[in-house]
Amino acid sequence: MNNFYIVTNDLKDRDFEITAQITDYLKRHGKAVTNDPLLIDCVLVLGGDGTLLRASVELAHLGVPFLGINLGNLGFLAEVDKDNIESALTKLIQGEYTTEKRMMLDGISNKAQQNSAQQNSAQQNSAQQNSAQQNSALNDVVIIGNESMQLIYFDLFVNGLKLTNYVADGIVISTPTGSTGYNLSAGGPIVEPRADVILVTPLSAHSMRSRSIILSSDDEIEVLITKGKNGEEQTALAVFDGHNRIVLKTFDRVKITKSAKSTSIIKLSKLNFFEILKQKL
């Protein structure tokens, strides 16, 4: 690797002191720090897991691996501690690393499709721009009420067939990478990150159907927001990796599938996933 791109969370490296330290180290070892997407061999992400999640989605099109440098507290994805940066960079430069391919999810709302029969051509184009939204996630897609402590009513479909309906705080649709995130907090299972599955975990469901469901990565998942308790209209949010959001209303649907994109995470440690899990938890 010769050309590196650095993404810095400026809330955790306020004076860019660590960024400058890394840049200087790389240059002293004959490497370059570049913004040219055609030259980048690796993305170094300084911050925490949240920073790495955002960077992986925004830069997935580059097709290069990511190394996370943890400047926060708990990090499953950001492997390198700030006290071990130079030794980690040495390993990286010398090729003493492996990469793990992590699956991602795509989610798209179909609100524009619902409204198309009711609008003229110009209105359809406007609705397509304003309503049909698509985002990707490395960790999870979480569908929750738009207001705090708000129950939402929704149906869950798998491959076009209705599986069940829920009255719940929401639902988490997670990749194996995201299994140690919100999914775990909601009582969902921990899955080895290289597994090729999708996890579906309801949030505080008001029914006996509160268990997680593990699906094939080839399955197509759809969540339909239905009417509320007394037939009232509902508003919900589809949140991608904790930051990108799609606003949903009654009868809106979100379709979630395995993405054609993926993220490659650089691993410098020889510890396996379960050894790292034991350390973190």
Q: Examine the residue annotation and report whether 49 is marked as an active-site residue of this protein.
A: yes
CA pair distance 156, 139, nearest whole angstrom = 20
CA pair distance 206, 189, nearest whole angstrom = 20
Half-sphere exposure of 73 (CA within 13 A, CB side): 1
Residues 6+ apart with CB under 8 A from 239: 141, 142, 143, 144, 245
Backbone angles phi, psi at 128, to 5 degrees: -60, -40
Helix (H, G, I), strand (E, B) or coil at 149: coil
CA pair distance 218, 229, nearest whole angstrom = 33
Q: What is the CA radius of gyration of the chain?
A: 21
CA pair distance 150, 144, nearest whole angstrom = 8
How many Cβ atoms are within 10 Å of 247's Cβ, its own excluded? 14
Which residue of the set 10, 24, 36, 49 is catalytic? 49
Question: From the centroid of its chain, how far is CA 125?
Answer: 29
Q: Report, as residue numbers or ranges, the catalytic residues.
A: 49
